[in-house]
Amino acid sequence: MSSSESTTFIGRLIKMGVVEGEALVSAEPIGFLGGVDGSTGVVTERGHPLEGQCVAGKVLVFPSGKGSTVGSYVLYQLATAGLAPAAIVNAESEPIVAVGAIISDIPMVDRVPVGAIHTGDHVRIEGDRVTVWGKRSGCISSEG
């Protein structure tokens, strides 16, 4: 684990929880209904920056949700299968993801500058506090 500096953001609490994990960051909104496969956790939306990647166990960071209110149940389906994100961090929450996080017991915070978090960063969520440990030198090793 990198011992580089950490940054703590204080966001707005949507769903209380304490968890740590690796960030998976999207610059684009995520629509869970039709955009994420509820049985595998893989992002399926064509052309999405995270297409093909799996959200399971990640601290999923994205600007906001979008799409149908049934998307809340996709998050619930992931949770019952053990494939839910470890936590959700949004720039600005909307109801579908917020309700999905609550009914699935996924810790969630919004009003956090998602551009400051990068895929691979180590993140700790504690209530409304989001602490981010960036990767050393900002470089992701390309070896093996």
Partner 1 sequence: MELTAEERQWLDGGGGPALKRAMEIVVALGTIYGAQNLIPVESVQISGVSYRNIGDAGLRFLRQWADEGAQVRVPTTLNPTAMDMARWEEQGFSADFADKQRQVVDAFAQMGVGEGTPLPTCTPYLIGNRPAQGTHVAWAESSAVVFANSVLGARTNREGGPGAIAAALTGRTGAYGLHRAENRLATLCVEVRAGLDTISDYSALGAIVGCQAGQAVSYLVGLPLDAADPLLEEKLKALGAAMAATGAVGLFHVAEVTPEARAGPMLAPTYEKLVIDDVVPGYASLSDDVESIDLVWIGCPHASLREIALVAEALRDRMVQVPLWVTCARPVRAIAVEQGLVSLIEAAGGRVFTDACMGIAPLRDLGFGTVATPSAKGAFYLRNLAHVAARFAPLEACIATAVAGDR
Give first-to-last CA distance, the chain, whole Å.
18
Q: Is 31 helix (H, G, I), strand (E, B) or coil?
A: coil
Identity of the residue, 104 or 132, whose beta carbon is nearer to partner 1 in the bound complex = 104
Total binding residues toward partner 1, as defined by CB under 8 A: 21
The verdict on 10 binding partner 1 (CB under 8 A) reads: no
Q: Considering 6, 39, 68, 137, which one is annotated as catalytic?
A: 68
Q: What share of the chain is helix, strand, coil (3-state, %, to 5)?
A: 20, 30, 50
CA distances from 52 to 4, 26, 78, 100 (A): 30, 13, 16, 21
Contact between 99 and 79 (Cβ < 8 Å): no
Identity of the residue, 9 or 76, whose beta carbon is nearer to partner 1 in the bound complex = 76
Could you give the angle at which helices 71-80 and 95-104 cross, rounded to 10 degrees?
A: 20
Site for partner 1 in 30-69 (CB under 8 A): 38, 69
Identity of the residue, 89 or 99, whose beta carbon is nearer to partner 1 in the bound complex = 99
Among 80, 113, 115, 136, binds partner 1 (CB under 8 A): 80
Active site annotation includes 68: yes
| Residues tagged active-site | 68
Residue ranges binding partner 1 (CB under 8 A): 12, 14-15, 38, 69-70, 72-74, 76-77, 80, 93-96, 98-99, 102-103, 110
